[in-house]
Each structure stands twice: as structure tokens, then as C-alpha cells.
Amino acid sequence: MVISPFEDRYKTEINALFDEEAKLQKWMIVEVALAKVHAQLGNIPKDAPKKIENGATKVKVERVHQIENEIHHDLMAMVKALSEQSGDAGKYVHLGATSYDIEDTATALIFVEAIGMVQKSMEKLGATIKKLAIQNKNLVCVGRTHGQHAVPTTYGLKFAIYYQELKRNMERLGEAKKRVAVGKMSGAVGTMATFGTGGPKIQKMIMKELGLEESKASNQVIQRDRHAEVLCDLGLIAAMLEKIAKEIRNLQRTEIAEVYESFGAKQVGSSTMPQKRNPHKSERVCSLARLVRANVLTAMENIALEHERDLTNSANERAIFAESFISVDYMLVEMTKILGGLNFFHENIKRNLELTNGLIMSERLMIYLVENKKMGRQEAHELVRTMAQEAFSGKKHLKALVIDKKLLSKKEADELFDYSTYTGCAKEIVENAVKD
């Protein structure tokens, strides 16, 4: 029976990194690396690592769970299961290590792979956003601040802004990847006492074998600021995706109706209202973003473990690591699909530009009066403000009011109230923002 929606509903390729089988394999990879180093240093027979490595291919999750049910320790259950399959080399499994030498080092391996998969999903989304920015760099629409019509902008600029934020998130995640790609082999409290004076060399050799950096100082665990940083970055990615999804949801409102999610020929929007065309995919992205952000707080609280460590991080990390990575990867994949199939309703975009009867050109009119009619800036502002109120109250077009008051000629007014000519450097900004 499936309990978690991450096992099916929100599943992506990244799930394979977090299932029980994958975790077990990573644990045993670290155990094999430990045995190899011991053999290289002459601490155990030369043929022991190969026997342990072969044994690892025979260990079954079911057997590990069977042992765990008896001894109530998941890592030691793996050690026993691996020892069973390693013949006479079984007695050398886990030599000198503590549980979290294995678990935290394995977690680093999982995080590195998971971040790599998220980065690939981000690259695909970036290509889609870049395409939309270029395609729509000249598509003029009304800009909104405080939920109110402001001045014209372009859809290309909207997407260019998203593209730049995506880039920053990729840079952040890349930096965090370096800091989380760290393992340890330092024992129960970080002193390496079980390895004697050879501890630092053993740790260094193991991490080289695994392609990880070594922790310069640790207690029983890798310090949780490293994992919290990654989850913070995943939270930022989720927030960015929510920003895009929320904009789509608002622009899909019936009263605005400028863009719509794609809608299949047999798709159902509501069980009772047949006409509904809900932005449910974007809403799903917003919903999952809340979960990812909540997990960030838990990861932060895991930093302050007691003394050389306690176990208060363990249970929640079984959930928050997988949930956060799977959620974000799913959201990235989903957003790529949403944007790839986004429908633009150009007639509504044009209609909304005219919705306020020219009031969105008030700023341009004020600047024009200052530059061409020798008015002071504050004087022009007050004049346009009062005219804007008059136009709003009387349901008149601001352009007509300006002509009636003989502030501008009809030719001047026609040119000034052309929305397509008041987008400033938007086209250049878009091109520069996505040129890389």
C-alpha cells in the first residue's frame, strides 16, 4: 500500500536515490571503501575488500530489515547482513567505524547525486524560460504593482527576471554542493581513537576513494549546517517556482485571462462545474513549495545537536531530505511542462492595456509636460494626478481629456499614448539577461 504521495503522485527519476535499496547500497559502498583502505595499509588481508565487495551484491533489504527487527539498529543490521555474505572477510566489516561514519558519508554521496539531478532539471527549465523571454520580448502588457495597473511592460521582461533568478539559484546550489560533498571516518566522538595515530590518513584515503572531501573536524556526525544549507537552497528554488506559478494563477483569473495553462481535450476542471479551467498544476507547485520551506526550518533546528551528538535529527531527516529533493525536482519538471504549453491570449492582453482608459500612461504624460511644456516636476505631477481622477470619475479616456484641455495636440497625444513605445529598454534588458 502506498502511503506517501512521493512514492507515486509526485515521483520523478530522483526517487531512485532515496529508496531503501539505494540507501543500503551507498552504506555498503562506504564499508567497501573502508575495507580497501585497511587492506592498503596492511590492517586486514589483501583479499578481504574483494570478498566484502562481492558480499555487498548479495545483501537483500529484506534480510537487513529482518535483522533490524531483532536488534533495533538499522546500520548495524546492514553490517551483520554484509558480514554474513562476506565469508571469512566478514569479521573485518565496519572495522574501527561508528554508524554515522558510514551514514553521513553515504548521505554526502546521495546529496551529490541528487543535486546533480536537480541541476539538470533546472537547466531544462532555464532553456524553456529563455525561449519564452526571447519570443515575447516585444509582447507589451500592463505592469501591475500593489495589484493595480501601473505602466506598460513586456512578457519577455517577466521571463527574463525568472531566468536571472534561476541562474542565481543554480549558483547557490552549486556552492552548497561543494560544502555538502564531505565525509568523515572519525569515530564515536570525532577523535579517531579506534584508528590510533593512523586516523587522519585513513579518513583522507577513504574520502579520496569515494570522491569526497574530508571533514577537517567533526564529532560523531557531519555538522548539520551543511545539510541545512542545501535545504535552504532548495527552499529558494521552491519559492522561485511558486513565484512563477502564482503569476500564472493570477494572470489566468477570469477577469484578467491573459495566459492559461494548457488544457487537454478530455481534461476535467471541476466535478460539478463543467466550464472550469483551473490552473491546478500551478496550484500544485505552490502547495509543494510550502512543504519545502517548512522542511528548511526542521533542517535548521537539526544544527543544534547536544554535546557530541544526539539522535533528534535522525527521524526527521529520513523524511525531509527525500521530501525536499523529490518535491523540488517534481516542481521543476512540472513547471517546465507548464511553461512549455503556456497559452497566451493576445486579445485579452491588449484589452487589459486599455482597461483604465489611458491612465497607465500618466507617468509618461507627466514627464512629457516637464520636458516639453516647461512645467516643474511637482506641478506636472499634480496636474496629471487631478486629470487622472477626473478621467476615472467621468469614465473618460485620459488622452481625450488631455486633448480637450489643449495640453497636447492630437498628434502629440496619439504618439504619447502608444503603449508599445513606452517600454523603455525592456527589449535590450531581456536580450542581455538571457544572452548567456
The residues that are catalytic are: 146, 270
In what helix (H) or strand (E) does residue 260 lie, and over which residues does it extend? strand 259-260
- Residue 242 in grid coordinates: 511558486
Nearest to 165 by CA among 113, 242, 223: 242
Contacts 24+ apart (CB under 8 A), 427-431: 427/137, 427/138, 427/154, 427/156, 429/157, 429/160, 430/133, 430/134, 430/137, 430/154, 430/156, 430/157, 430/159, 430/160, 431/134, 431/137
- Residue 161 in grid coordinates: 527576471
**CA atoms of 83 and 245, how far apart (whole Å):** 51
Largest CA distance in the chain: 101
Let me know the angle formed at the C-alpha of 343 by 324 and 122, rounded to the nearest 5 degrees. 30
Three-class secondary structure of residue 65 per DSSP: helix
- Cite the DSSP H helix spans in 181-279: 199-210, 225-251
Instruction: Provide DSSP, 121-188.
Output: HHHHHHHHHHHHHHHTTT-EEEEEETTEEEEEEEHHHHHHHHHHHHHHHHHHHHHHHHHH-EE----S
Answer for the pair 178, 211: CB distance below 8 angstroms, yes or no. Answer: no
- Residue 305 in grid coordinates: 545537536
- Residue 68 in grid coordinates: 533490524
* Eight-class DSSP state of 220: S
Three-class secondary structure of residue 429 per DSSP: helix
CA dihedral of residues 221, 226, 228, 229 (deg, nearest 10): 180
Q: How remote is the C-alpha of 54 from its chain's centroid? A: 38
Answer for the pair 259, 345: CB distance below 8 angstroms, yes or no. Answer: yes
* Eight-class DSSP state of 21: H
